[in-house]
């Protein structure tokens, strides 16, 4: 089939990779260029936090998350970067005054899914065996099943792959006016296809009811004095912060969560909170260099859950909120099984 996809962010790319594997021909439209930073998928830390996200999410997130974790390695292999996938568990810790909160957090996860019984309590010695650089923490939990995708590498490698694929036409810097059952409308002109996907994230807000943006801010630090190797969360009564290690001593520190569609630069308050939290976690961050500060908005529906809408030969996928990397492969698989693959 000849398929049109509006929006080549995270969902659009995962869709494109799946559809190419099935032998289809694709025409892609995005208002950004192929290497631009508009997609939320370009800002994300790429954590695959199947358990840690459960505290404030439904168990459906857990089921789709577990499925996605099995699908990511093949997607990354397809675009030539299998090493951009890491699954060696994650750490959650807190300051001593917040240990009660930490215990409560883990108890909540255990009440939600039985698999959370595999979460391990670590004392200082056990933690130091896993992560020698976290020796100042006397207590933590280890979640063996969690992992991460190097989001920025995935975005770049998928652009390279799609741009060089013979069955792909990518209209960059091309804003879509609307996506209808009849086709994709650009500059008032209708482009028709055998099947259409709307994967515009927040850009679909005129056509997807109750879609809102949730602002998130992240900092990129280069910290040669810090050697943390796994995604690590610090539980704090006012904010949840995480440190996600990337190659070459780089760490992504995130993320704020603010009910606003404001994509303006990172605020002083957010940067102070994020930076003081990482410094309190490891004093080696004192001499880190701030190499980037990024803001974006998570496309979010009223119930904070993802949604697939099928109408004849049009499929809309949206609302991946703070779980895009965790959910996209499984949600796309579900959408294809319920829609185009039935044909
Ligand atoms: C700070 C932050 C941290 C995050 N961290 C994580 C994490 O650790 N783990 C995780 O699982 N998820 C994380 N996420 C969430 C994840 O990034 C999103 O859920 C995901 O990117 C949503 O995918 P999407 O394809 O729907 O939207 P996007 O990735 O935003 O893509 C939408 C695309 O549509 C294009 N577009 C929009 N409107 C138009 C138009 N009119 N015409 C043409 N093109 C258009 C845009 O240019 C963009 O390329 C994070 C998000 C943020 C903001």
List pLDDT tens digits, range 117-171: 999 999 999 999 999 999 999 999 999 999 999 999 999 999 999 999 999 999 9
Which sign does the torsion angle of CA 5, 8, 9, 15 carry? Answer: positive
Residue nearest ligand 1's atom 49 by CA: 9
Q: Are residues 81 and 4 in the same domain?
A: yes
Residue nearest ligand 1's atom 6 by CA: 44
- Per-residue DSSP letters for 92-104? EEE-GGGHHHHHH
* CA dist list (Å): 76 to 73, 151, 271: 5, 11, 32
Q: Are residues 274 and 342 in the same domain?
A: no
- Kindly state the percentage of the chain with pLDDT values over 90: 93
The predicted-structure confidence for 228-242, as pLDDT tens digits, reads as follows 999 999 998 777 799
CA atoms of 58 and 176, how far apart (whole Å): 33
Residue nearest ligand 1's atom 51 by CA: 44
Confidence of residue 339 (pLDDT cuts 50, 70, 90): confident
CA atoms of 324 and 260, how far apart (whole Å): 18
Q: Is the pLDDT of residue 190 over 90?
A: yes
Cβ within 8 Å of residue 260, ≥6 positions away: 213, 214, 215
In 10 A of CB 269, how many CB atoms? 10
Residue nearest ligand 1's atom 41 by CA: 176
CA 155 centroid distance within chain: 11
Nearest-atom number in ligand 1 for the CA of 7 is 34
Q: Is the pLDDT of residue 28 over 80?
A: yes
Q: Are residues 312 and 183 in the same domain?
A: yes
Q: Are residues 136 and 221 in the same domain?
A: yes
- Domain range spanning residue 127? 90-144+212-300
User: How far is ligand 1, taken at its centre, from the CA of residue 20, in Å?
Assistant: 21
Average predicted confidence (pLDDT) for the chain: 95
Q: Are residues 28 and 121 in the same domain?
A: no
User: How far is ligand 1, taken at its centre, from the CA of residue 321, in Å?
Assistant: 8
HEC sequence for 134-200: HCCCCEEEEECCCEEECHHHHHHHHHHHHHCCCCEEEECCCCCCEEECCEEEECCEEECCCEEEECC
* CA dist list (Å): 257 to 251, 254, 262, 337: 19, 9, 11, 33
Q: What is the CA radius of gyration of the chain?
A: 20
Q: Are residues 70 and 115 in the same domain?
A: no
3-class DSSP state of 4: strand
Q: Are residues 231 and 182 in the same domain?
A: no
User: How far is ligand 1, taken at its centre, from the CA of residue 169, in Å?
Assistant: 21
User: How far is ligand 1, taken at its centre, from the CA of residue 201, in Å?
Assistant: 6
Q: Are residues 159 and 77 in the same domain?
A: yes
Tell me if 64 sits within 8 A of 327, measured CB to CB. yes
In 10 A of CB 264, how many CB atoms? 8
Q: In testing the pocket of ligand 1, which one of 4, 6, 7 has its CB within 8 Å of the most ligand atoms?
A: 7
Confidence of residue 247 (pLDDT cuts 50, 70, 90): very high
Confidence of residue 249 (pLDDT cuts 50, 70, 90): very high
Q: Are residues 282 and 172 in the same domain?
A: no
Domain tally, the chain: 2
CA atoms of 77 and 149, how far apart (whole Å): 12
Q: Residue 272: which CATH number?
A: 3.30.9.10
Tell me if 16 sits within 8 A of 145, measured CB to CB. no
Q: Residue 206: which CATH number?
A: 3.50.50.60
Confidence of residue 52 (pLDDT cuts 50, 70, 90): confident
Q: Nearest Cα to 232, choosing from 148, 126, 107, 295?
A: 148
Q: Are residues 17 and 138 in the same domain?
A: no
Looking at residue 238, what is its pLDDT?
76
Residue nearest ligand 1's atom 19 by CA: 324
Looking at residue 10, what is its pLDDT?
98
Q: Are residues 131 and 74 in the same domain?
A: no
Nearest-atom number in ligand 1 for the CA of 318 is 26
User: How far is ligand 1, taken at its centre, from the CA of residue 46, in Å?
Assistant: 11
Considering only residues 60 and 24, tell me which one the structure prediction assigns the higher pLDDT.
24
* Pocket (CB within 6 angstroms of ligand 1): 6-12, 29-32, 38-41, 43-47, 175-176, 199-201, 203, 216, 218, 254-255, 296, 298-299, 318, 320-326
Question: Which residues make beta-bridge pairs with 92?
Answer: 141, 233
231 sits in the region (left: phi over 0; alpha: psi -120 to 50; else beta) called beta
Give the mean pLDDT of 269-297: 95
Give the mean pLDDT of 275-291: 95
Tell me if 290 sits within 8 A of 320, measured CB to CB. no
3-class DSSP state of 106: helix
Q: Are residues 249 and 230 in the same domain?
A: yes
């Amino acid at each position: 089939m000849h398929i049109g996809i509006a929006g080549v962010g995270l969902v659009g790319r995962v869709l494109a990779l799946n559809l190419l594997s099935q032998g289809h021909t694709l025409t892609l439209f995005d208002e950004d260029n192929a290497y631009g930073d508009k997609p939320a998928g370009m800002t994300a830390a790429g954590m695959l936090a199947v358990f840690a996200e459960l505290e404030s999410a439904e168990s459906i997130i857990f089921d789709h998350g577990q499925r996605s974790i099995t699908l990511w390695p093949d997607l990354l292999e397809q675009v030539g970067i299998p090493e951009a996938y890491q699954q060696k568990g994650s750490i959650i810790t807190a300051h001593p005054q917040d240990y009660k909160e930490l215990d409560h957090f883990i108890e909540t996860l255990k009440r939600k899914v039985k698999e959370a019984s595999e979460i391990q309590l670590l004392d200082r010695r056990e933690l130091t065996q896993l992560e020698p650089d976290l020796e100042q923490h006397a207590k933590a939990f280890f979640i063996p099943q969690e992992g991460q995708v190097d989001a920025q590498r995935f975005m770049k490698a998928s652009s390279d792959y799609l741009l060089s694929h013979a069955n792909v036409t990518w209209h960059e810097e091309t804003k879509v006016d609307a996506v209808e059952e009849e086709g994709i409308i650009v500059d008032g002109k209708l482009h028709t296809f055998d099947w259409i996907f709307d994967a515009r994230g927040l850009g679909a807000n005129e056509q997807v009811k109750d879609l809102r943006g949730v602002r998130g801010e992240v900092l990129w630090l280069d910290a040669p004095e810090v050697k943390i190797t796994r995604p690590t969360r610090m539980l704090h009564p006012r904010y949840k912060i995480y440190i996600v290690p990337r190659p070459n001593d780089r760490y992504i520190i995130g993320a704020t969560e603010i009910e606003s569609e404001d994509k303006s630069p990172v605020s002083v308050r957010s940067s102070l909170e994020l930076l003081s939290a990482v410094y309190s976690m490891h004093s080696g961050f004192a001499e880190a260099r701030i190499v980037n500060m990024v803001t974006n908005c998570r496309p979010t529906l009223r119930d904070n859950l993802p949604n697939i809408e099928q109408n004849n030969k049009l499929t809309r996928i949206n609302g991946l909120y703070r779980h895009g990397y965790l959910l996209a492969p499984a949600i796309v698989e579900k959408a294809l099984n319920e829609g185009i693959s039935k044909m």
